[in-house]
Amino acid sequence: MLGALVAGGLLVPAPAASAVTAGTAGATYAAGATYAKEATYAEGRAYAAGKTYYVDARKGDDSAAGTSAATAWKSLDAVNSADLGPGDAVRFKRGNTWTGTLTLSGKGTAASPIIVATYGGGISPKITTTEGSCVVVSGSNVRITGLRTSKCAWAGFEISGDNNLLDSVYADRNVTGVQITGSRNTVEDSILTDNNQMSVNDSGGDDDSGAFGVLLNGDDNLITGNLITGSYARSHDYGTDGAAIEVFNGDRNRVTHNVARNNETFVELGAKKGKTATGNIFAHNVVTSTRKRGSFLVTRGARHVVGPVKDTIAVHNSVYLPERETIGWSCHDGCSPSILKLRNNVIVVGGEMGFEDGKGADEAGSLYYGRSMKFKLGPRSIVARPRFSSTKSLRLEPGSPAQGRGRKLSAAWYGGASLAHDMAGKSLPANPDAGAYQN
Helices (H), 8-81: 36-42, 76-80
What Rg, from alpha-carbon coordinates, does the chain have?
21
pLDDT attached to residue 232: 83
Give percent of the chain with pLDDT exceeding 90: 83
pLDDT attached to residue 197: 76
pLDDT tens, position by position, 252-308: 999 999 999 999 999 999 999 999 999 999 999 999 999 999 999 999 999 999 999
pLDDT attached to residue 7: 32
Decide if 280 is inside a domain.
Answer: yes
Decide if 343 is inside a domain.
Answer: yes
Burial string for 252-261 (b: 16+ CB within 10 Å, else e) reads bbbbbbbbbb
State the average pLDDT over residues 54-81.
Answer: 99
2: pLDDT confidence band, cut at 50, 70 and 90? low
State the average pLDDT over residues 230-235.
Answer: 75
- The SS3 of residue 167 is strand
pLDDT attached to residue 15: 32
pLDDT attached to residue 240: 62
Query: What are the two backbone dihedrals, phi and then psi, of residue 125, each rounded to the nearest 5 degrees?
Result: -65, 140
Q: Which amino acid is at 224?
A: T
State the average pLDDT over residues 315-338.
Answer: 98
Note down the domain range covering 142: 2-34+121-419
pLDDT attached to residue 27: 34
| Closest to 340 measured CA to CA, from 369, 371, 370, 366 | 366
Decide if 52 is inside a domain.
Answer: no
429: pLDDT confidence band, cut at 50, 70 and 90? very high
Vertex 301 angle, CA 298 and 303, to 5°:
120
- Contact call for residues 329 and 278 (beta carbons, < 8 A): no
Give percent of the chain with pLDDT exceeding 70: 84
State the average pLDDT over residues 184-192.
Answer: 99
Q: Give how far Cα 233 sits from Cα of 109, 240, 259, Å.
A: 39, 6, 19
- Contact call for residues 435 and 396 (beta carbons, < 8 A): yes
- Contact call for residues 179 and 209 (beta carbons, < 8 A): no
The residues, ordered by sequence, that sit 6+ positions from 266 with a Cβ below 8 Å of its Cβ are 243, 244, 245, 260, 282, 285, 287, 289, 295, 296, 297, 319
pLDDT at 230 over 70: yes
> 0.85 exceeded by the pTM?
yes
State the average pLDDT over residues 115-131.
Answer: 98
Greater confidence (173 vs 12) lies with: 173
Greater confidence (8 vs 423) lies with: 423
In 148-294, where do the E strands start and end?
Answer: 148-152, 155-159, 165-167, 170-172, 176-180, 186-188, 191-193, 198-200, 209-210, 212-216, 222-224, 227-229, 233-235, 239-241, 243-248, 254-256, 259-261, 265-270, 281-283, 286-288
Whole-angstrom distance, CA of residue 160 vs CA of residue 158: 7
Whole-angstrom distance, CA of residue 322 vs CA of residue 304: 28
Q: Hey, which of 26-35, 190-199, 418-427 has the most confident mean pLDDT?
A: 418-427
- Contact call for residues 368 and 376 (beta carbons, < 8 A): no
Neighbour tally for 390: CB within 10 Å: 11
Q: What rounded mean pLDDT belongs to the chain?
A: 89
52-61, 175-184, 199-208, range with the lowest pLDDT: 199-208
pLDDT at 392 over 90: yes
pLDDT attached to residue 437: 99
- Contact call for residues 197 and 30 (beta carbons, < 8 A): no
pLDDT at 34 over 90: no
pLDDT attached to residue 45: 52
pLDDT at 201 over 90: no
The residues, ordered by sequence, that sit 6+ positions from 8 with a Cβ below 8 Å of its Cβ are none
Q: Which residues pair with 283 in a beta bridge?
A: 256, 315
Whole-angstrom distance, CA of residue 33 vs CA of residue 191: 11
Q: How many domains does the chain have?
A: 1
Whole-angstrom distance, CA of residue 376 vs CA of residue 207: 33
Decide if 173 is inside a domain.
Answer: yes
pLDDT tens, position by position, 73-91: 999 999 999 999 999 999 9
pLDDT at 5 over 90: no
